[in-house]
Amino acid sequence: MNENDYFDYFLEMGAMRPEEEQLKRRQAMVDYLRQSSLQAPEAQQAGRVVVAPSWTQGLAQIGQAYAARKGQKQADTATADLNARRRARLEALRSRRNPAAPVKPEDEMNEGNWMSGYYGG
């Protein structure tokens, strides 16, 4: 394996950076919508008279909660897609590095578990 493989890998990871930043901004917007939908509508004062909250304020909060739920689903899907692409690229790099023994994610987790022999794992 040569240095160009590492360079290509890091170049691709850097190219995914703007997408990651966009996902963070989307998640911040979803969090804001969720928080604002949880706040109780407040009465307002018009001159000397206190006006009760309108039913449309409650309806707007329901809309915000719905938008937050849909946005969260989209953000979760996009994040899972980005992570899958990163994982696939990393596994491709590992397979080029050692083509005889591809590393599976399960093997990585058990690699450092030195106590597994004591408990029959």
The confidence band for 98, taking pLDDT boundaries of 50, 70 and 90, is confident
7 vs 1, 87, 95, 115, CA distance in Å? Answer: 12, 17, 16, 37
pLDDT at 117: 47
Q: Give 16-60 pLDDT, tens digit per residue.
A: 888 899 999 999 999 999 999 998 888 888 889 998 888 899 899
Predicted pLDDT of residue 46: 86
**What percent of the chain stands above pLDDT 70?**
79
Whose CA is closest to 42, among 31, 64, 58, 63?
A: 58
DSSP 39: S
Residues 6+ apart with CB under 8 A from 75: 23, 26, 27, 30
For the chain, domain boundaries: 3-40+55-96
The CA-atom distances, in angstroms, between 13 and each of 40, 58, 109 are 43, 44, 23
